[in-house]
């Protein structure tokens, strides 16, 4: 069992990474077919061996700078406690109308059970209830760790997902955060705790902590207005004045599902932007100032200017480079805005988005590859400003990028 004690704290998207939670994609993604992929929210099917190879380099890069923890390992740890195991199985089976399989699951040892709860539980010795081959469906989306939970300051927030197919992810993660000895943290489910109508949705891909008093949030297909309001209610409980900027997103196509598909922070003075959404008056930006029980809202011209007005003087780097070509659309589709910071000015993204990488290089950032970092040909400590390009020809087909695939648990403070 991992005995590391984590002081959960994320006060910025760009602070030096210290602890991060991951899930290496496994057999669960091979349980998708062209016919059922849409049920798992995918528009394509993935090759597990290729995806794992690409992911392996991504993980090695993260291990160069931080302690990396795997969901399956932590889940297996807590399942060794029979009380926790029984309660978690009952909760999952009740949520998925599969109570008939609970007695069988309780006979499985911890490590194997952890794998099955992720990879899916096939109907074997149990009589068929319907024509589907699984009693519990595979969690094909779990490697997109950012969605089901997110760290906000010293709290871990549990998402309320827009699609039921991902609800088990939240149940599993909430159990890990509450029960694993590695964590001593207040776990908050804002859409459940603060929204009485039970229709609020909020997902981690939409929420970004820019500074210790500034949060940005997407409003679109996955996070609705009730979810945004639940974040406001939570922020009312936090000390000091807080600013919540929320950005309208297109409802279609699926490449716009979260804010981090059109906007991510890169440095104290730089951000990655999909210009047709972020710099377009058609998609509104709102600013809510929260001071104790009081919340006052106003409309802003755009998200970049709203940040500048709060003293966060960022210059946008545009996804795909020039907006006069098709490159922004093509590269945004393959997560060209979705970068993950290891430290201020050091960040990871897909190398396949060549025009975006070139725009970053033109802005003064060195370009290195994940292979070079993993094989010790590049020392990130000696790099002042750089983008680490990971191969993502297979991973990107899942509909997410480097930020989507990470759940930071602890970052160092940023000197603004």
**How far apart are the C-alpha atoms of 4 and 183, rounded to whole Å?**
9
Mean pLDDT of 272-298: 96
Task: Quick: pLDDT tens for 356-414.
Answer: 999 999 999 999 999 999 999 999 999 999 999 999 988 988 889 999 999 999 999 99
Model confidence at 124, pLDDT cuts 50, 70, 90, reads low
Q: What's the pLDDT at 196?
A: 66
Q: What's the pLDDT at 312?
A: 98
Structure-block tokens of residue 94? 């009740």
- Torsions phi, psi of 99, nearest 5? -65, -25
Model confidence at 134, pLDDT cuts 50, 70, 90, reads confident
**How far apart are the C-alpha atoms of 70 and 180, rounded to whole Å?**
13
CA distances from 351 to 114, 348, 392 (A): 33, 9, 7
**Mean of pLDDT over the chain:** 93
Q: What's the pLDDT at 42?
A: 72
Q: What's the pLDDT at 101?
A: 94
Q: What's the pLDDT at 132?
A: 67
In percent, the amount of the chain with pLDDT more than 90 equals: 83
Burial of 382 (0-12, 13-18, 19+ CB in 10 A): exposed
pLDDT higher than 70, residue 128? no
pTM over 0.85: yes
pLDDT higher than 70, residue 200? yes
Model confidence at 125, pLDDT cuts 50, 70, 90, reads very low
Which among 109, 228, 90 has a CA at the least distance from the CA of 160? 228
User: Number of H helices and number of E strands within the chain?
Assistant: 13, 20
More confident residue, 1 or 284: 284
Spacing of C-alpha 67 from chain mean position: 17
Residue 218's Cβ-side half-sphere holds a number of Cα atoms within 13 Å equal to 26
Model confidence at 127, pLDDT cuts 50, 70, 90, reads low
pLDDT higher than 90, residue 189? yes
The structural domains of the chain, ordered by start, are 25-65+203-404 (3.75.10.10)
**How far apart are the C-alpha atoms of 398 and 26, rounded to whole Å?**
13
pLDDT higher than 70, residue 41? no
- Torsions phi, psi of 100, nearest 5? -65, -20
Task: Quick: pLDDT tens for 85-114.
Answer: 999 999 999 999 999 999 999 999 999 999
Model confidence at 52, pLDDT cuts 50, 70, 90, reads very high
Q: What's the pLDDT at 361?
A: 98
Mean pLDDT of 140-155: 96
Task: Quick: pLDDT tens for 334-363.
Answer: 999 999 999 999 999 999 999 999 999 999
Burial of 89 (0-12, 13-18, 19+ CB in 10 A): buried
């Amino acid at each position: 069992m991992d005995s590391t004690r984590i002081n959960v704290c994320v006060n910025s998207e760009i602070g030096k990474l210290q602890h991060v939670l991951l899930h290496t994609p496994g057999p669960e993604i091979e349980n998708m077919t062209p016919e059922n992929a849409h049920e798992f929210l995918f528009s394509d099917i993935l090759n597990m061996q290729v995806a794992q190879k690409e992911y392996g380099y991504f993980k090695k890069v993260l291990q160069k700078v931080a302690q990396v923890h795997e969901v399956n390992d932590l889940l297996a740890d807590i399942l060794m406690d029979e009380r926790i195991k029984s309660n978690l199985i009952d909760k999952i089976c009740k949520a998925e109308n599969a109570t008939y399989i609970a007695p069988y699951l309780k006979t499985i040892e911890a490590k194997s059970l952890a794998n099955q709860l992720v990879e899916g539980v096939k109907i074997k010795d149990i009589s068929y209830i319907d024509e589907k081959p699984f009693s519990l469906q595979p969690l094909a989306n779990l490697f997109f760790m950012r969605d089901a939970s997110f760290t906000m300051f010293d709290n871990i927030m549990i998402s309320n997902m827009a699609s039921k197919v991902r609800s088990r992810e939240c149940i599993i993660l909430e159990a890990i955060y509450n029960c694993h000895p590695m964590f001593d943290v207040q776990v908050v489910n804002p859409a459940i705790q603060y929204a009485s109508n039970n229709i609020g949705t909020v997902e981690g891909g939409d929420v970004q902590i820019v500074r210790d008093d500034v949060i940005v949030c997407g409003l679109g297909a996955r996070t609705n207005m009730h979810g945004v309001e639940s974040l406001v209610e939570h922020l009312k409980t936090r000390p000091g004045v807080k600013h919540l900027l929320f950005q309208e997103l297109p409802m279609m196509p699926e490449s716009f599902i979260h804010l981090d598909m059109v906007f991510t922070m890169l440095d104290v003075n730089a951000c990655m932007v999909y210009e047709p959404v972020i710099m377009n008056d058609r998609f509104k930006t709102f600013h809510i100032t929260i001071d104790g029980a009081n919340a006052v809202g106003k409309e802003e011209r755009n998200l970049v200017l709203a940040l500048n007005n709060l003293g966060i003087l960022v210059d946008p780097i545009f996804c795909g480079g020039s907006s006069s070509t098709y490159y922004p659309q093509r590269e945004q589709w393959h997560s060209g805005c979705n970068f993950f910071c290891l430290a201020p000015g050091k960040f990871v993204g897909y190398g396949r988005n060549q025009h975006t990488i070139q725009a970053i290089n033109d802005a003064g950032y060195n370009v290195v590859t994940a292979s070079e970092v993993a094989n010790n040909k590049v020392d990130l400590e000696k790099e002042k400003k750089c983008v680490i390009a990971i191969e993502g020809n297979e991973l990107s087909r899942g509909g997410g990028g480097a930020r989507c695939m990470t759940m930071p648990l602890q970052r160092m403070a940023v000197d603004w």
